[in-house]
Amino acid sequence: MRRNRSTDGRVKVLARATLRRNLVDEIQGATPAVSNRRAGVLIALVALVLALASACNPGTGSSPSGAVTPLVATGVRGVVLAGPTCPVEQAGQSPCVRSVSGATILALDPSGREVGRAVSDAGGAYVLRLAPGTYEIVPQSIQGLMGVAPKTSVTVPDGAPVQLDLQYDTGIR
């Protein structure tokens, strides 16, 4: 079957128009249906990433300072405090201590090699993720505080973190 010339011309014009429309859609982005589908996929991906991130570090335990301390399978966690912060403590008064942010805490293995380092957060909480074993926890000096919290030897058991709160001396008497 033979087409006449005018039909062939219209087919070519329609083909060019369709090609041009597809090219414009591609340059300007996708059609609304495709854009909506991409937005839905992006939202689902973001939700998945957030869900995975929260599952990896739920942080449901609270520390004495009220800050949230992440759950740790093994290691050492605690709160860094400085005190006294008032010259005289009286019965029934809350302890004269404050949380210390920015304190660096080291973990040393039995040979004295550094195997962990943590910095306390705004609430004074710190976490050292360590494998089961014996470690020396060494608080570092902090500008503005007279004393350094004492070094402490700890044994980290399998399956549970050790709670070790550290107290720096402010020098107030």
Dihedral-angle region of residue 133 (phi above 0 means left; psi in -120 to 50 means alpha; beta otherwise): left
| pLDDT on residue 65 | 45
Q: Which two tokens stand for residue 93?
A: 């008064």
- In three-state form (DSSP H/G/I as H, E/B as E, the rest C), the secondary structure along 66-117 is CCEECCCCCEEEEEEEEECCCCCCCCCCCCCCEECCCCEEEEECCCCCEEEE
What is the per-residue pLDDT across 51-85, written as a single tens digit (0 to 9) for each? 555 555 444 334 444 445 455 578 999 999 887 66
More confident residue, 104 or 93: 104
Taking the CA atoms of 127, 128, 133 and 135 in sequence, report the sign of the dihedral they define: negative
What is the per-residue pLDDT across 16-36, written as a single tens digit (0 to 9) for each? 655 556 555 655 555 556 566
| pLDDT on residue 137 | 97
Q: Which two tokens stand for residue 85?
A: 């912060």
| pLDDT on residue 128 | 96
What is the per-residue pLDDT across 140-151, written as a single tens digit (0 to 9) for each? 988 877 778 889
